[in-house]
Structures are given as structure tokens and as C-alpha cells.
Amino acid sequence: MMIRGSSWGDRLEAAAAWLLAFLWAAPLLYALWAAFHPMDFVSRFDLLGPITLDNFRSAWKVAPFARYFVNTFLLVTMTLAGQLLLCTMAAYAFARFEFPGKETAFILVLVQIMIMPDVLIVKNYQTTSTLGLVDTIPGIGLPYMASAFGIFLLRQAFKQVPKELEEAARVEGASWLSVLLRVYIPLARPTYLAYGLVSVSYHWNNFLWPVVITNSNDTRPLTVGLSIFGAPESGVNFSVISAGTILAVSPLLIAFLLFQRQFVQSFMRSGIK
């Protein structure tokens, strides 16, 4: 018995879904079009128009993209490394140790989930300046390293590890550190992957704090470089801006298209706390 076949209504809905998808993809597709065509073709959609890499060459020449890439790469890896270390340790403490002030400490951690360092730029600038870290890559990453979100996710993961596994290891005389390394971390691998993806995409794309704390091309990450490059004052035409923009987003975008499922699941996990 067919309750509902492929009716007109279904087809209409699929068409609407496709139309919206086209609208949603259009800006990026348009940037790709502009990046690979000479400026005259920016609003002339001639499929036979000449394809060129000149825009990428000029973009590469106008702004120190290679340097920006290195900076972003350093920033993202340094921040993630710091986060993984600090959050693992803190999450372990919350999941498996009893100590006075634990409840209060955990509530204080939760404060950061609601009030992220992104909005505390005024005081954090002063602190970073006191530490002498203005215009350095560690200075960009430091406020994010003790990540409440990371601690929260890992604590959840560690709490799901059966206590018997830990006790078995302890009976064999394993230290707390080796219990963490041999039991907890391996079992929390999916959480680490999810957190890592979210953290990398976040810091690859982050802008406000980096623009506050950097003031030279030696430290500026891609987003900040891109904002200078794309500003109307730079006098670069749209084709070249598109090329630069495509350059800057392509590593993350390609990674996303290749590992879409992992990305979407990680983002989902990050929201459903």
C-alpha cells in the first residue's frame, strides 16, 4: 500500500530545496567565478570566458599570504596543543578526583562557556600587554587555552569510562598519569577529534581578538591579513580580492568537503552539551 508516492508536492518541495541550496552556494560560487576570470568577466557570465590564474598571482604579490598562512598554522596548532594539554588535565581532575572547592571550581569554569574571552578584549589586552605578549602568536592563543568548553566535553567523556578499568590499572600499580594516558585518553578519542575540529575551525576563522592584539605582518593570521587586503583603501579589484579570499579559506574548506560527516558531527556535539 502506497500512502504517499512521489507526488507533485514532493517534487515541488525538492525543487524548492534545490533553489535554496543554489542561493546558499551562490556567494561562494560567485567568488570562485570572479577569482578565476579577468575583472571584465566579474558580472558577465560567459561560460566560454577565459580562465586565468592571474588574480591569484596578484593576490599573492599584494599581500604576504605565505606569511599569513604560516602564522595561522602556528596559531591553530599552538592553541590546540595548549588546549588539549590543559583541558585534559583539568577534565581529569573534575572527573576522577575529590578535592575541596571542586563544585565551585566547576561553576567558575562554566562561567566561561557563557562569557567567552572574545568579549573581554579590553582587559585581556592590558593583561597580555603586561605579560609582554602583544603582537606575538602565543599572545593570540593564550586567552583561549584554558577552554571551558574543552574541559566540559572531556569531563563528560572521562566520566563515561567505567571505573573498573581504572581500578584494574591501579591494582597493577599504574600511576595516575599512566592511567590517564593508557585508559582515559584512548577511550575519549572521538571527543578529542570533535573538539579538535571545532577548535581548529574556530581559530582559523577567529578575527576580533587577533586584530586587537597583532600589529605587524609577522604575527597577523589570515583573517586579519584578509581584512587589510580586502579593505577598499587597498585599491585591489574584486577579482583579486576573491582570489585572496579563496586562498585563505581553501584549506579549511577542502578539509570540510572531504571530511564533511566528521565536521558536522563535531559541530553538533559542540552544541549539544
Q: Which of residues 63-102 bind other proteins (CB under 8 A)?
A: 85-87, 89-90, 92-94, 97-100, 102
CA distance 186 to 3: 48
Span near other proteins by CB under 8 A; candidates 3-11, 47-55, 56-64, 155-163: 3-11
Q: Which of 55, 191, 199, 223 binds other proteins (CB under 8 A)?
A: 223
- Report the alpha-carbon distance of residue 151 to residue 83 in Å, rounded: 9
Binding mask 126-165 for other proteins (x = CB under 8 A): xx--------------xx-xx-x--x--------------
Alpha-carbon distance of 240 to 77, in angstroms, equals: 29
Q: Is 68 in contact with 249 (CB distance < 8 Å)?
A: no
Q: Could you give the angle at the alpha carbon of 196 between the alpha carbons of 190 and 200, nearest 5°?
A: 155
Q: Residue 55 Cβ, how far from other proteins at the closest point, in Å? A: 13
- Binds other proteins by CB under 8 A, chosen from 74, 230, 259, 262: 230
Applying CB under 8 A, which part among 51-59, 122-130, 132-140, 187-195 lies near other proteins? 122-130
Residue 53 sits in the site that holds other proteins (CB under 8 A): no
Can residue 231 be called a binding residue for other proteins (CB under 8 A)? yes
Q: How far is the CB of 270 from other proteins (least distance, A)?
A: 10
Cα gap 48→60, rounded to integer Å: 26
Residue selected from 112, 136, 217, 262 as contacting other proteins according to rule CB under 8 A: 112
Determine the residue type at 64. Answer: P
